[in-house]
Amino acid sequence: MEVKLPEIRKSEVLRYLGYNGQDLGSTLEEQLQRCIDAVASSARPRLTYRIFDVRNSEIEGLSLEGSDIRELLESSKQAIIMAATLGAEAEALLRRTEVTDISDAVIMDSAQSVAIESVCDAFEAKMRIFYREENLYLTDRYSPGYGDLPLDSQKLLMNVLQTEKRIGLAATASNMMVPRKSVTCIIGISDRAQKLQRSGCSTCMMAQKCTYRKQGRVCNGQNDT
């Protein structure tokens, strides 16, 4: 299904870029806004999801490796499996720009990361409200590649969701999603209130190349512990 693209917040794009409070100057400010506008115009976000039963901390019909996902689903009776993408147009924009203007491409890459995370955040918030009215609670969302859940698990999630057919999302042999700015994830549904612990660096798309973490900090300005 198609979904509305939330506003791409400039402050979030700057955070992904490793901005540390420097004065941008009018030229960079204009470039930043132009790139954000281009990303917003090209994005055609689509999303699909299914609800699965969970027994003994395992999603029925799926063999997912690792202890972290079982810990996440420990008190869940069901789980949401979701996939979202910004679409082929956004991918094409980024590929063209990587050839013609690397500076713009870096900004657009960050803006697209913010955009797909915003799509996922909006979906998650909507689901939390829906299930809270049923006296149910959601866990954090958890994606392949986090903790000890192997990255190649995303192909299992994509297969059960039929993502290529439903939203045009496929994966290469090396587990790169196409379009690149896409997400697959799992969210547990429990009748118990959940302690949400997996936000921040452990679930951030930029964790592996974050300039803040290289400096021993996180983007809220505190030390990364």
- Looking at residue 196, what is its pLDDT? 74
CA-to-CA separations, 120 to 96, 105, 131, 158, 177, in angstroms, rounded: 25, 23, 16, 16, 16
How many domains are contained in the chain? 1
How does pLDDT run across 125-183, given as a tens digit for each residue? 999 999 999 999 999 999 999 999 999 999 999 999 999 999 999 999 999 999 999 99
Asked which of 28-32, 170-174, 191-195, 216-220 is least confident by mean pLDDT, the reply is: 216-220
Asked whether residue 215 is domain-assigned, the answer is: no
Find the distance separating the first CA and the last CA of the chain, reported in whole Å: 39
Asked whether residue 178 is domain-assigned, the answer is: yes
Place of tokens 């115009």: 41
- Looking at residue 23, what is its pLDDT? 76
Asked whether residue 139 is domain-assigned, the answer is: yes
- Looking at residue 41, what is its pLDDT? 97
pLDDT band at 195 (very low <50, low <70, confident <90, very high): confident
- Looking at residue 201, what is its pLDDT? 52
How does pLDDT run across 86-106, given as a tens digit for each residue? 999 999 999 999 999 999 999
- Looking at residue 225, what is its pLDDT? 32
> 194-206: buried (b, 16+ CB within 10 Å) or exposed (e) per residue?
beeebeeeebbbb
How does pLDDT run across 23-73, given as a tens digit for each residue? 788 889 999 999 999 999 999 999 999 999 999 999 998 989 999 999 999
Asked whether residue 4 is domain-assigned, the answer is: no
Using DSSP's 3-state secondary structure scheme, residue 95 falls into helix
Asked whether residue 220 carries a pLDDT value surpassing 80, the answer given is: no
Asked whether residue 221 is domain-assigned, the answer is: no
CATH code of 156's domain:
3.40.109.40
Mean pLDDT of the 110-129 span = 96
- Looking at residue 81, what is its pLDDT? 97
The count of other CB atoms within 10 Å of the CB of residue 148 is 10
Domain range spanning residue 99? 10-208
Asked whether residue 5 is domain-assigned, the answer is: no
pLDDT band at 207 (very low <50, low <70, confident <90, very high): low
Mean pLDDT of the 198-221 span = 49
Higher pLDDT, 112 or 217: 112
The values of phi and psi at residue 108, to 5°, are -65, -35
- Sheet order of strands, 58-59 included: 58-59, 46-55, 76-85, 182-190, 137-142
Alpha carbons 4 and 73: distance in angstroms, whole number: 29
Mean pLDDT of the 105-118 span = 97
